Structure 1
């Protein structure tokens, strides 16, 4: 017998206990986005199986847990780039990235800009944004992760490749 209940459909998300457990995991990611949060750890925080957690989290919040964590890390990095003089390397490690190269590549894939370009642009625009509340800025600058980073790379690569034949792909 399995110790965890398996979801049968979207009605499971109407269960207040499950939603509280999912929010508990989401809150832990928010509070410690610099830490590693594999699905196994999140499922343990939520008290459900890994598969159940992953499916339920995506249905409840619209994106998988890993993409949610990436969103939080990028948001925090943008804030630090804009508001501090920390070197970009320090920002990468403070926000949970294990290498500067990975941070730079994923940051550029998600935001369309390098961290250095983002810092320059954010500081140039900061005088106009001084009167806007921080919560509104974060919401407006939240990265769009509806499409997986790897899918964005595939699409970009496909757009730059020339066809090998004159036939159209089907």
Structure 2
């Protein structure tokens, strides 16, 4: 999921690959990572979207589809829940915040953490 975050999530296929039922895989995944497979995937998508928005080369809509989201509304809602600001505000304000930092450091500083979701 980390590498192929833009692909649709197929829990049944993942479960077959590891010889488990989809329900069992979901329970084991949540026990290991603290969130469901879908939530984990959305966190990775938002993380990548943050990087693309900091670059400023794509519109919010283009970023939404580039990270594998099918709905701009859902993307914007989840982005705001995890980051604390809308994608357009993040795009406008985030680039100066990490200017001059190596991308690996910027990623660590700006990484969305689901268990510390931003307050509204």
Q: How high is the TM-score relative to the length of structure 1?
A: 0.63
CA distance in 2 between partners of 1:61 and 1:139 (Å): 18
Alpha-carbon shift at residue 45 of structure 1 (Å): 2.7
CA distance in 2 between partners of 1:76 and 1:55 (Å): 26
Alpha-carbon shift at residue 147 of structure 1 (Å): 7.0
Tell me the secondary structure at the aligned position of residue 31 of structure 1.
coil
User: 1:147 and 1:38, CA in 2 relative to 1: closer, same or farther beyond 3 A?
Assistant: farther
Q: How many residues get paired?
A: 120
Greater RCO between the two (CA within 8 Å, min separation 6)?
2
Alpha-carbon shift at residue 37 of structure 1 (Å): 0.9
Instruction: List structure 1 segments (4+ residues) > 6 angstroms apart after TM superposition.
Output: none
Is there any run of 5+ residues in structure 2 with no aligned partner, and where? Answer: none
User: 1:51 and 1:45, CA in 2 relative to 1: closer, same or farther beyond 3 A?
Assistant: same
Aligned partners of 2:79 and 2:86 also within 8 Å? yes
Greater Rg over alpha carbons, structure? 1
Which of 79, 92, 110 is the matching residue for 2:64? 92
User: 1:40 and 1:147, CA in 2 relative to 1: closer, same or farther beyond 3 A?
Assistant: farther
RMSD after superposition? 2.2
CA distance in 1 between partners of 2:17 and 2:110 (Å): 29
**1:103 to 2:78 alignment:** no
Partner of 2:97: 125
Structure 1 residues 1-170: aligned runs within 5 Å: 29-127=1-99, 130-131=100-101, 133-146=102-115
Is there any run of 5+ residues in structure 1 with no aligned partner, and where? Answer: 1-28, 157-170
Aligned partners of 2:29 and 2:37 also within 8 Å? yes
